[in-house]
Amino acid sequence: MQVRSLALVGLLLIAAAPQSQTPAPAQQPAPSTTPRPLPPDPHKYDLLLQGGHVIDAHNNLSAVRDVGIKDGKVAAVETHLDPKDALKTIDASGLYVTPGLVDIHVHVYAGTGEARSYAGDLSLYPDGFMPRVGVTTVADAGCAGWRNFEDFKQRVIDRSRTRVLAFINIVGNGMRGGAYEQDLNDMQVEPTASMIKQHKGLIVGVKTAHYAGPEWTPVERAVEAGTIGDVPVMVDFGTNHAERPLAELVTKKLRPGDIYTHMYSGLRGELDPTGHVNAGMIEGRKRGVIFDVGHGGGSFAWRIAVPAMKEGFIPDSISTDIHVGSMNSGMKDMLNVMDKFLAMGMSLDEVIRRSTWNPAHEIKHDELGQLSVGAGADVAVLRLERGKYGYVDMFGARMNATQKLICELTLRDGKVVYDLNGLSRPDWKSLPPDYKTTGNPHWDGIVGSAGSNAPATTGTGTTNRR
């Protein structure tokens, strides 16, 4: 009888326990993600990008240059580098060579199987989408909190070739929707700050989002955790309330370096009743608050962005807020959002700055978003096409435009991971009749030396090199 009673008590305790994130399925031991040593190559450069227009905001460079890459690092940026010194030379003439794009507002906590959740089915796996548009680094914007961050890390971060950083949600359960995100009791400072310290550099900030109540509690606790962890806070301000006006958020509650995202949503008084930029936002910028695009499926309207841009209130950083909904609506991808700012009159140099160096600096990763000698060779090679195009906001309103960015080539750690038109490949007619492979593992991250689609330098696994 005592055994049966104890068993019943155990079942009742399990039933009463709060729902937790579905644990990751049991895995066989993962193959080593340490790259296999490559035999040394005598060339000065593994890869040479020749004749492209380099835009590197960190180094105030916008000019035609050759870029030499060796062992995953930028080895040289010069007016001329000899192709004889390179194992592989790619003709980038007529194209723009930029640092790999840095998108600091994405949702990539996929794979849990949880429906209608950003810690689940609403998120997307980064490697299927980011290289195709030149993005080499993303920061997940609060999908996981301290309760499920380790699961997110194991499922996605550690398995991705795309560099995945994260803003941790002040809500312990993360961005799981519904009651989870409204639970003030689950917005705990100490465990959030502890997780930040445990993963310093990987967790780049604290996120508060979607809160529907009038209290300042989510913002205040996020700022407190960010202060302890020495990281910025990113705010999606949730439902608009008179008790917590936007002006007070950016002039009093946030610190210099904190980030207000969805700056052109129009949902929280970003324009005043006369149609001008909220005076509080102007004052907040003077205080050092960062303003980020965060386009998403419902946070960018031409009727807000165009007047703000005309008044000079331009974004500090361009980001997508990409998830499975937004990517199939007005917001398609990073390049689509960048295109919209070209359409509103921003120069290409400034668009690249706000998509590379600025966001990298905002999340305190100054080693990213630049092409200095010695920096990691994350590179986007872009084509600026001219024609007739249309770009759509969150309400389905179109703006006509004449320019469009296309990603031709993406390098991650000095290796080609995306090549739209085969710029790195030989014509098939120039190869032997029984050709099997066209790459070399020193520069090729698409087709391995044995013709496999697995990355050549990492066995059957890949590594998220931060």
Residue 385 has pLDDT above 80, yes or no: yes
What confidence score (pLDDT) does residue 431 get?
96
* pLDDT of 24 above 90: no
Average pLDDT over residues 9-21: 38
Helix (H) or strand (E) holding 163: strand 163-169
- pLDDT grade for 35, boundaries at 50, 70 and 90: low
Residue 224 has pLDDT above 60, yes or no: yes
Please state the φ and ψ torsions of residue 389, each to the nearest 5 degrees. Answer: -135, 165
Q: CB neighbours (10 Å) of residue 302?
A: 22
CB count within 10 Å of CB 465 equals 13
Of 355, 458, 298, 271, nearest to 57 by C-alpha is 355
Residue 465 has what pLDDT? Answer: 34
Position with higher pLDDT, 240 vs 38: 240
Which SS3 state, helix, strand or coil, does residue 354 take? Answer: coil
Q: Looking at residues 310-331, what average pLDDT do you find?
A: 97
d(CA 405, CA 382): 6
Amino acid 449: pLDDT? 40
Q: How far apart are CA 424 and CA 403, in angstroms?
A: 25
Distances (CA, A) of 2 to 12, 13, 140: 15, 17, 49
pLDDT, one tens digit per residue, over 149-179 is 999 999 999 999 999 999 999 999 999 998 9
> CA distances (Å), 395 to each of 106, 291, 303, 399, in order?
20, 22, 10, 12
Percent of the chain surpassing pLDDT 90: 86
Residue 37 pLDDT level (bands cut at 50, 70, 90): confident
For the domain 101-369, what is the CATH code? 3.20.20.140
| Local confidence band at 447 (pLDDT 50, 70, 90 cut-offs) | confident
Rounded average pLDDT over 185-208: 98
189-193, 301-305, 434-438: which range is least confident on average?
434-438
Give the span between the Cα atoms of 191 and 174, in whole angstroms.
Answer: 13
Which three-class secondary structure state does DSSP give residue 230?
coil
Q: Return the pLDDT at 34.
A: 55
User: What are the b/e assignments for 115-146, b being 16+ CB within 10 Å?
Assistant: eebbbbbbbbbbbebbbbbbbbbbbbbbbbbb
What is the predicted pLDDT for the residue at 424?
97
Cα 286 to Cα 88, 237, 250, 394, 426: the distances in Å are 47, 20, 10, 29, 52
Average pLDDT, the chain: 91
Distance CA 55, CA 283 (A): 31
The pLDDT assigned to 439 comes to 93
pLDDT of residue 112 exceeding 50, the answer is yes
pLDDT tens string 251-284: 999 999 999 999 999 999 999 999 999 999 999 9
Give residue for tokens 């165009």.
306
Mean pLDDT of all residues in 40-55: 96
Q: What pLDDT shows up at residue 448?
A: 53
In the chain, what is the straight-line distance between the N-terminal and C-terminal CA atoms, in Å?
56
Q: Residue 40 has what pLDDT?
A: 83
Length of the chain: 466
99 DSSP β-pair partners: 379
Q: Are strands 398-412 and 415-419 parallel, antiparallel or unpaired?
A: antiparallel
Q: What DSSP letter does each residue of 31-45 carry, written as one string?
A: PP-SPPPPPP--SSE
For residues 231 and 263, the answer to whether their CB atoms sit within 8 Å is no
Q: How many CA atoms lie within 13 A of 198 on its CB side?
A: 11
- Tokens 């950003």 belong to which residue? 118
Q: How many CA atoms lie within 13 A of 211 on its CB side?
A: 28
- For residue 405, which amino acid is it? L
Three-state helix/strand/coil letters over 274-328: CCCECHHHHHHHHHCCEEECCCCCCCECHHHHHHHHHCCCCCCECCCCECCCHHH
Parse the chain into domains and list their residue ranges.
Answer: 101-369
